[in-house]
Amino acid sequence: MESIFINVGLLAGVALGALPIIMHLFMRPTPKKIIFPALQLVRERHKRAKRSLKIKNWLLLIARIALLVLMALALARPRFYSAVPLGDENIPKAIAFVIDTSLSMQFTEKGKDRLAEAKERAIDVLARASDTSQVFVIDSADPGVPVALSPAGARKQLNALNLRPANRQLNTSVGLGYTAVLASDRLRKEVYVLTDLTASAWDLAHPVEGLEKTKDAKTPVSTFVLRLAPKDLKDVAIVEAASSAGDSTEVQVKVRNQGPKTTRVVEFKLDGQVRDKKTLDLPEDSEVPVKFNTPRLDPGLHRAEIHLSGGTDPMEFNDLRVLTFQVAASAKVLILSDLDEDGDFIATALDADPSAAVADPTRPFLVDRGRVTELTNKTAEGLRSYATIFLNNVARLSDADWQKLGAYVREGGGVVIGLGNRVQIDSYNSDTAAAILPGRLDKVITFKEPTTFGQITVDHSLFTRYTKDLATDLGGVPVFKAWGVTPGPATRSVVTLTEGGPGLLERTFKGTKTGRVLLWTTPLSRRGQGDDPAAWNELPLFFSFWYLVKQTVPYLSGIEGAKLNYDAGEDVILPLDPSRRLTNYVVQGPDQKTADRQSPSATTTTLILSAPPQLGQWNVTGSGLNGATATLGFSVNAPESESRLRLLKTEELDQLFGKDNYGLAETTEGLKGEIDKKVYGRELFPWVMLLILILLTAENLLANKFHRETGPRPSVA
């Protein structure tokens, strides 16, 4: 800070304060001697009046001196604080604009969205910058290092900015702005952050990057945050969409209303055709679920679109959500048990009507049942035709059968084993069995009082839907007996018993395709008579049994394992069929333009696409030798967080930037005021002028009071 006056030379005017003193000394009246003895009494009175007048004259003198001094100060334009040399407002600057281009900036009021307003504000700032200033334009979605531009070049780049579905948190972008201006040789350095201040755009757990560098810099960096938040925060959005396939296909949708109660129409389109429409009454600030059902679809890839209509909405991007899902062909399941009643409940859960035509493609499961001899007589190729194999309360398997199951699992198969009263421990603890089982059997535990399934692993794929309902339901299942099992290496506990010990264990085998073994420590069946030795639990009487049995098959076979729906910014990973090696893949975006071509190696098991940039449905077409083709696909939606219109509080901004380290403004005039305060300091000119007016008034009042004639005028004869 070199000076606190804009016009330093005019401070010489303070010397004018000596003029009243000089005039007072040189213009003193010369006393006249009057010899008039009769006026002796008058002379005494005159002396007293003269002393009083002298005091009044001194008061007038002081007021006039102060008046001249203050006028000189006013012309010098004093300021309370200044970050730059005063009078140098137009020197070249280093300016960084950090522009929030996240989708929430689409919020539109009076025909203008937040991004358009951000551009206008930035261009207003550029209008006051000299042509030799360096300008850095930082798009919050672009991780690249910004380059220095002239003001004219910066205007072009600002006008070219667009909303971007995938965005970084603004902490990083602000750090890039600090780095850019600190590296510049310009004497003034300013960073402008133009954002709607939604919390989703920031990492509130950490301050903005580069903040410490600005504190240590020789030349201070001024930071200004322009709040572009709309005045009336309201929006209706589709924030979730998911599908589940069973006897029918169900699409679950969640609609969020931020604002007053309203009504919207939700349209469900499947494979290009409108299937259903529903009118939703949305209470104030609410989330409302809605479901659409269709008969079970043919196997293959299916595309859904859910669209909101029936009202005006400030953000269009979240009025549409797309969904891609795969309906698998009927999965073959093999159920092995020593007694029919030990396989009945599993078979009924998977296929309630086993007499239906096997050729019906809408059947989710095709069930084969048998004894262990079925396993012995199957070839390796025959076993591979099954998506899952269930063994429930089977007494023993030969070493050859265990080895056959081991080979099946290591090739990506799935096995479910339920332990019961018939199990012979020596067979299950053999070396060949230990090669695939998740643990070693100890002994049968009989509970004095029935226990239940206590805790589930909530992030396991079997429980991703209806997590709370499944946990509650399993917590009510009476369990009378269970095998004690010591978990082995590479084993995960999925469900535990309330009394302690595992209820369900999982072992995973990595390979070209992941294989899994699930081990229930109590059987997947029940008996009606309590004194039956096989009456170990009441699990089949609860909905969790029927749900988990149906979910187990697609989970173990990998039918539902492929993720086909992504948020913008995520890398897409599509599994490739190892049995069909295709050499070329063409990726097409929603605009039908070719976005990418890939030629994976023969050993590649996945196709990886780096953060596809467009929202919507993407198609991937594979081709290979002899005309072999395959069609893949996936969907890209806006992150749910972009639809959450929670604005940052002042204390959160203080945590990000440090209290008093930034200026916050909402209007152009407010920004000018913040710049004056942070860069040029507080202007004292208005206060000085106010004092001058007060002194002028006081001087005038004093002069009139002190010099007016108080006695009667003498009459003239």
639-676 pLDDT tens trace: 999 999 899 999 999 999 998 889 899 887 777 776 66
Look at 317 and 86; give whichever has higher pLDDT.
Answer: 317
Look at 109 and 38; give whichever has higher pLDDT.
Answer: 109
- Three-point CA angle 369, 372, 373, nearest 5°: 95
Residue 714 has pLDDT above 70, yes or no: no
Residue 401 has pLDDT above 70, yes or no: yes
d(CA 586, CA 629): 11
Domain(s) of CATH 3.40.50.880: residues in the chain: 331-557
Residue 1 has pLDDT above 50, yes or no: no
Domain(s) of CATH 2.60.40.1930: residues in the chain: 565-638
Quote the distance between the C-alpha of residue 611 and its chain's center: 16
The 10s digit of each residue's pLDDT in 523-536 is 999 998 988 999 99
d(CA 107, CA 111): 10
- CB within 8 Å of 706: residues ≥ 6 apart: 53, 56, 57, 59, 60
For the four alpha carbons of 140, 143, 145 and 151, in that order, the dihedral sign comes to negative
Share of the chain above pLDDT 90, in %: 54
Query: Among 44-53, 275-284, 430-439, 525-534, which is the least confidently predicted range?
Result: 44-53
- At residue 31 the predicted structure's pLDDT band, cuts being 50, 70 and 90, is low
d(CA 500, CA 207): 45
Domain 235-327 has CATH 3.40.710.10: no
| 3-class DSSP assignment, residue 237 | strand
d(CA 71, CA 64): 11
Show the tokens assigned to 285. Answer: 């600030």
Domain 331-557: which CATH class? alpha beta
Residue 170 has pLDDT above 50, yes or no: yes
Mean pLDDT to the nearest integer, 65-92: 61
- CB within 8 Å of 512: residues ≥ 6 apart: 411, 412, 578, 605
The mean of the pLDDT values for the chain is 85
d(CA 550, CA 544): 10
* Closest among 560, 556, 537 to 390, alpha carbons compared: 556
Show the tokens assigned to 34. Answer: 């009057």
Domain(s) of CATH 3.40.50.410: residues in the chain: 93-232+647-680
Q: Answer whether 594's CB lies under 8 Å from 587's CB.
A: yes
pTM above threshold 0.85 = no
pLDDT at 499: 87
pLDDT at 2: 45
Domain(s) of CATH 2.60.40.10: residues in the chain: 235-327
The 10s digit of each residue's pLDDT in 112-168 is 999 999 999 999 999 988 999 999 999 999 888 899 999 999 999 999 999 999 899
The 10s digit of each residue's pLDDT in 473-497 is 999 999 999 999 999 988 999 999 9
The 10s digit of each residue's pLDDT in 413-448 is 999 999 999 999 999 999 999 999 999 999 999 999
pLDDT at 175: 94
CATH topology for 565-638 is Immunoglobulin-like (2.60.40)
- CB within 8 Å of 469: residues ≥ 6 apart: none
Q: What CATH superfamily classification does 93-232+647-680 receive?
A: von Willebrand factor, type A domain (3.40.50.410)
Look at 628 and 372; give whichever has higher pLDDT.
Answer: 372
- Residue 562's Cβ-count burial label (10 Å; 0-12, 13-18, 19+) is middle
pLDDT at 599: 86
Look at 66 and 314; give whichever has higher pLDDT.
Answer: 314
C-alpha atoms less than 13 angstroms from C-alpha of 405 in its C-beta half-sphere: 29
